[in-house]
Amino acid sequence: MADLNLTDIFLAGMTTYGPLTLGLAMWMGTLGIPVPLPILALAAGAFARHGSLNWAVALFAALAGATLGDSLGYAVGRFAGEWAQRRFGKSPGWARAEARFHRNGWLAIFITRFLLTPLAVPTNLIAGGSGYPFRRFLLLTLAGTLTFLLFFGATGYAFGRQWEAVGKYVSSYFGWLIGAALVGAVVYFLARRWYQNRRSRATRQATSEPNQ
């Protein structure tokens, strides 16, 4: 048992205890514990195809576990956010960060459920700390988590007994996909910031010319 890794432990748990293990894994993953969620979702789909796992119950358990973990992160952010608001609330930078999250927060919440998953925990904390509406947060987390589970679960179901080969591919390239997405996001925001600054300078020059 000592030589089993975390993936083996959860896979053994899924075959023994069924959907509850997937729900526990999703809960732990949303709290920042490095659980191999894509691999487990692939396995759940494959197990469901061969009748060893009830997919409907597994989907419900996974959504329940993820929702509980995400809500806990949001609550921690809301509690800590009161202190942060008193400490930094008058800062222009803090105000801009809150405004930016309220403009694009829905996308950040949704995409970190299934693609940029390492950023899900800080996103939950920021959502709570910035006072983002909990009902909207909950709907977005459910939508993103459902997308994640259906994609990987359906893939595992489609490949059946070959899911382990697909899992190795996912393990090898999922990190690269996340890295590429992060680089793309940084490039996008830098380009957007450059464009906004250029537009602002052009506006100031156009405003000052009639006064000269």
> CA–CA separation, 20 vs 28, rounded Å?
12
| pLDDT tier, 80 (very low <50, low <70, confident <90, very high otherwise) | confident
DSSP 117: G
- Per-residue model confidence as pLDDT tens digits over 15-68: 889 899 999 999 999 988 888 888 899 899 989 988 889 999 999 999 999 999
Helical ranges in the chain per DSSP H = 6-17, 19-30, 37-49, 55-88, 92-111, 120-129, 134-159, 163-208
Average pLDDT over residues 113-127: 82
CB 114 within 8 A of CB 144: yes
Asked if the model's pLDDT at residue 1 lies above 50, the reply is no
**Two structure tokens written together for 7:** 């993936």
> CA–CA separation, 56 vs 61, rounded Å?
9
| pLDDT tier, 96 (very low <50, low <70, confident <90, very high otherwise) | low
Q: In sequence order, what are the residues at sequence separation of 6 or more whose Cβ sits closer than 8 angstroms to the Cβ of residue 142?
A: 63, 67
Give residue 123's pLDDT.
84
Residue at token pair 């806990």:
72
Q: Is the dihedral of CA 125, 175, 18, 57 positive or negative?
A: positive
CB 146 within 8 A of CB 31: no
Asked if the model's pLDDT at residue 161 lies above 80, the reply is no
Q: Residue 39 class from Cβ within 10 Å (0-12 exposed, 13-18 middle, 19+ buried)?
A: buried
Q: Taking the model in full, what pTM does it have?
A: 0.72
- Mean of per-residue pLDDT scores for the chain: 79
142 C-beta neighbours (distance < 10 Å), count: 16
